Structure 1
Amino acid sequence: MDRIAKSLGLFLVCLMANSVPNFFVYGEPDRPLEPGFMHVETVMARKNVHLGRVDAHSHARMAQITFWTKGHGTYFIEEQRLDFLAPAVSFVPSGVVHGFTVEPSETDAIVVSIADSALAPLDERTILPIDAPVMIADTGDPASWARLSRIMQQMADEYREGRPGMEMVLTALATVAMTEIARFGSGQTGDLRPAQTVLASQFRQLVDRHFRENWPVERYVDELGTTPHLLTKACQSAFGLSVKEFLSERRLLEAKRLLLFTVRPLEDIAYEVGLKDAAYFSRFFKHHTGQPPSVWREQYPRH
């Protein structure tokens, strides 16, 4: 088995589970978060839990910034894989499946967890889209990495010391860190978050909660208090998709997660993503990927 297969095989370990696990922080059960919750720690603070291999999981209520300060490894976001050498950084919104494999004696990172309730107010203060995952490595000048490193280290220091006003300082620093991450990819420093992007963000969150229920487009329009035209325009601008295409893509993403990270049969997966039966699900999946779900699943190692 080649190196790629071995790396991805380490990631696909939730094979006997019925779903990809949601955690509070890795290894701890999901739980409600206080308004404005933020948490900062190093990856290796939990090395006794993961031993350098963090399996496929997501966080239902919070996003994470992970800044790799030393070492190297393989990071996974959904089915995408990236080998990295520090420095590297990722931003993963809530609900996105991710994980990594690293050598714990050589590698470490600062992880900042931000509750959705704390992240939402930052949406208009940063140029980083808060709805899409991103990982950056092997790009950017040394001065940019040094600047981001100082910001992340200051966040770690603030959290560890717990001095008065810590929450306000962490919020401000998180905003700056997210903007620095965006600058690596775009080089832009202006405000990229128009009103229609806010609408698109609200739409995505609503779809995440209700796509299994097969809501018609009109239901989303009503819930968002908008018009079909404005929702279509926002969705096309933010995602490059029509509203119906976005709904299909969200269903397809969930199907891929379940195919990759569980051993549930096609009948169960069809039901889980809101489709009526396995045959219809197979047609839907093949239409969007060019392959039946069983064939697509077989491409990924299970050992």
Structure 2
Amino acid sequence: MPRSVPSFFVYGEPDRPLDVGFMHVETVMARRNVHLGQVSAHRHARMAQITFWTSGHGTYFIEDRRLDFLAPAVSFVPSGVVHGFSVEPASSDAIVVSVADSALLPIRQQTILPLDAPIMIAGGGGEADWARLGGLMDQITGEYRDNRPGAEQVLSALTAVALTEIARLGPDRAISPVSEHRLLASEFRRLVDQHFRDNWAVERYVAALGTTPHLLARACEQAFGLSVKAFLNERRLLEAKRLLLFTIRSLEDIAFEIGFKDAAYFSRFFKLRVGMPPSDWRASHGDGGTG
């Protein structure tokens, strides 16, 4: 991926760290004044997106693939995948559900859609199938807007069901990774999720993936915008935040859980990246609200 391809938080806003479990819902045309229907190639380093086109037609770009569509249509794009679109803003709109990679971790276990490859479905399926997906997307929009008690759990569950409906609409429509570096990055992320607690050295990941340090570094930088070591640290930091937010475990237990033998070193690691010690961060986030 060329370095000129920008990475955004949501389109037009600079990339930034995401809260644990972060989700964001809005319509494409809520940002009409930013893009005027022409969204240039970009990526999201830590966030996947579902885009459900409710009206209009246009062209969607995913990596080097061009896909013409007429609503209803839907896409799922994992983090790191370059995408964009061109539509007529006066007649087109879509619901966009942005889901942080941290929020996708539990959702992976609740959906049949593979979440490592992009998918775009335009046409196919029956009217009832699209109506069912549309109803789910409307529910997601309402839950996000109203933010009632339990909204975070409901949004996670609804998103898992919506992803499964996408899989049912297009079981053979997955867009295979278009380059070796994307496949390597996807496999690296899967391996990190399995072994980051084991404190594997970079060399062990390289060996397990059957690659070279240079190729892994290039794949990680191009897919995630991070070095291999920075990606490993981000994953450990994410797990630490989740345990601080959602458990009452001690700092010593959390340090051990994510691969540190020394709680003091874990505290230094956390403060360096977050700006405050883990105990202060936990206190500042109250009873688990993630924003």
Answer yes or no: same fold by TM over 0.5.
yes
Aligned to 1:48: 33
**Residues 111-139 of structure 1, C-alpha deviation per residue, up to 9 Å, x if partnerless?**
00000000011111111111100000111
| Contact 1:206–1:220 (Cα < 8 Å) also in 2 | no
Q: How far is the alpha carbon of 1:157 from its aligned partner?
A: 1.1
TM-score by length of 2: 0.63
Tell me the equivalent position of 2:48.
Answer: 63
The amino acid of 2:24's aligned partner reads: H
- Give the Cα–Cα distance (whole angstroms) in 1 for the partners of residues 114 and 220 of structure 2: 19
Q: Is residue 189 of structure 2 the alignment partner of residue 205 of structure 1?
A: yes
- Aligned partners of 1:67 and 1:88 also within 8 Å: yes
Deviation at 1:202, TM superposition (A): 6.9
Q: Percent identity?
A: 65
Q: Taking structure 1 as reference, are residues 75 and 217 closer, same or farther at Cα in structure 2, changes over 3 Å only?
A: same
Query: 2: distance between equivalents of 1:248 and 1:137?
Result: 35
Count of residues in correspondence between the two structures: 204
Distance apart, 1:248 and its partner CA: 6.8
| Residue equivalent to 1:131 | 116
* Matched ranges for 1:89-108 at <5 A: 89-108=74-93
1:220 counterpart residue number:
205
Unaligned runs of 5+ residues in structure 1 are 1-16, 188-199, 209-215, 223-227, 232-242, 258-271, 273-303
Counterpart of 1:107, as a letter, is: S
Q: Give the aligned residue type for 1:141.
A: G
Three-state SS of the structure 1 residue aligned to 2:133 is helix
TM-score between the two structures when normalised by the length of structure 1:
0.60
* C-alpha contact (below 8 Å) 2:185/2:219 kept by paired residues: no
SS at match of 1:123: helix
Q: What pairs with 1:145-294 in structure 2 (closer than 5 Å)?
A: 145-186=130-171, 203-205=187-189, 219-220=204-205, 228=208, 243-244=210-211
Distance 1:206 1:53 in 2: 33
1:161, distance to aligned residue in structure 2 (A): 1.4
Is the CA contact (8 Å cut-off) linking 1:203 and 1:220 kept in structure 2?
no
Q: 2:14 aligns with which of 17, 26, 29?
A: 29
Cα RMSD, aligned residues only = 3.2
Alignment CA distance shift 1:106-1:34 (3 Å): same
Distance 1:34 1:136, change over 3 A: same
Which residue type is aligned with residue 40 of structure 1? V
Q: Which sections of structure 2, spanning at least 5 residues, go unmatched?
A: 173-183, 193-200, 228-291
Distance 1:75 1:66 in 2: 11
Paired letter, 1:66: T
Tell me if structure 2 keeps the 8 A contact 1:217–1:244: no
Supply the distance in 1 between the matched residues of 2:3 and 2:101 (Cα, whole angstroms): 25
Spell out, residue by residue over 1:25-68, the C-alpha distance to the aligned partner (whole angstroms, 9 max, x if none).
Answer: 00000000000000000000000000000111000010000000
Q: Which amino acid aligns with 1:184?
A: L
1:5 counterpart residue number: none
Write the distance in 1 (CA, Å) between the matches of 2:35 and 2:93: 13
Show the counterpart of 1:119. Answer: 104
CA distance in 1, matches of 2:161, 2:75: 14
* Distance in 1 between residues matched to 2:125 and 2:189, nearest whole Å: 31
In structure 2, what residue type is equivalent to 1:30?
D
The whole-number CA distance in structure 2 between the counterparts of 1:252 and 1:221 is: 12
Contact kept, 8 Å, 1:131 with 1:201, in 2: the verdict is: no
Cα offset, 1:205, TM superposition: 1.8
Rounded to whole Å, the distance in 1 between the matches of 2:156 and 2:220 is 31
Question: Could you tell me how far apart the structure 1 residues matched to 2:123 and 2:150 are?
Answer: 35
Counterpart amino acid of 2:139? Q
Change (3 A) 1:126 1:250: farther
C-alpha displacement at 1:219, in angstroms?
A: 2.5
1:69 Cα deviation (Å)? 0.3
- SS of the aligned residue for 2:95 comes to strand
- Which ranges of 4 or more aligned residues in structure 1 deviate by more than 4 Å? 247-255
Distance 1:75 1:96 in 2: 13
